[in-house]
Amino acid sequence: MKRVYKIGVIGPFASGKTLFIKSVSGGKNAYFTEKPVSEAHRRKIKETTTVAIDFTHMEWYNGNKVHLYGTPGQEHLSGILEMVDPVVEGYVLVLSTDHVEKVDSHIQQWVHRVPKPVVIALRTEDHSGIPEHIPWLQREVPVLPWDPSDRKSGVEVLKKLVEKLPETR
C-alpha cells in the first residue's frame, strides 16, 4: 500500500517555514499564499507573509509521497493551523538561529501546541551547527541543523520525522 505522509510546517513569523518548502521542493510542485505584510514593524523584517497554506507534494522513497502544509506564523492567523491540524500526522517546527536566545522558549511554546510527532529544523545559514546550550537537545524532540541553500539538509529533517510515523495509516 502506497503511503502519503502529510506533514505540517509550523513556527514563528519569519523563521523560514515558506523557505523550508521552497528549499525541499526545489521549486517543483510548490504553491505559495504570500501577501504583503500589513504591520509596519514586521515589514522591516520581510515584505511578504503566508496568509493561508503553502503547499508542496513530492515523491518520497518506495513510491510513497510527502505532502507539506506550510502555515502562517502570526497569531491572528492561528485558525489556519487549527484547520491543518486534523489533516497532518506530524510537524516540522522551523526555527532560526538569528535569535538564538529565543529558541528554547519557542520550542517549548510550539511543541506543546501540537501533540503529535515533531522534528525541529534549526535554520543555520552560517554553518555554525546547533548551539550547544539549547536544553531541548537533551529531550525527546530531535533538533536538526537546516541550511536552506542545501536541499538535502531539509530532506534529512523530513526523514527524521517520517521515521516517527507509522508505516501504514
Residues that bind ligand GDP (CB under 6 A): 11, 13-19, 46, 49-50, 73, 94, 148
Q: How far is the CB of 115 from Mg ion (least distance, A)?
A: 23
Cβ nearer to Mg ion, comparing 72 with 90: 72
Gap between the Cα atoms of 144 and 141, Å rounded: 10
- Which option in ligand GDP, Mg ion, none does residue 11 bind, with CB closer than 5 to 8 A by kind? ligand GDP
Q: How far is the CB of 145 from ligand GDP (least distance, A)?
A: 15
Q: How far is the CB of 111 from ligand GDP (least distance, A)?
A: 17
Cβ nearer to ligand GDP, comparing 43 with 139: 43
Pairing of strands 143-146, 30-31: unpaired
- Which option in Mg ion, ligand GDP, none does residue 14 bind, with CB closer than 5 to 8 A by kind? ligand GDP
Residues 132, 155: contact at Cβ < 8 Å? no
Cβ nearer to ligand GDP, comparing 42 with 64: 42
Q: How far is the CB of 98 from ligand GDP (least distance, A)?
A: 8
Q: How far is the CB of 84 from Mg ion (least distance, A)?
A: 13
- Kindly report the three-state secondary structure assignment for every residue of the chain: CCCEEEEEEECCCCCCHHHHHHHHHCCCCEECCEEECCCHHHHCCCCEEECCCEEEEEECHHHCEEEEEECCCCHHHHHHHHHHCCCCCEEEEEEEHHHHHHHHHHHHHHHHHCCCCEEEEEECCCCCCCCCCCHHHHCCCCEEEECCCCHHHHHHHHHHHHHCCCCCC
Q: Which stretch binds Mg ion (CB under 5 A): 48-56, 109-117, 140-148, 159-167?
A: 48-56
Provide the binding-site residues for Mg ion, judged by CB under 5 A: 17-18, 50
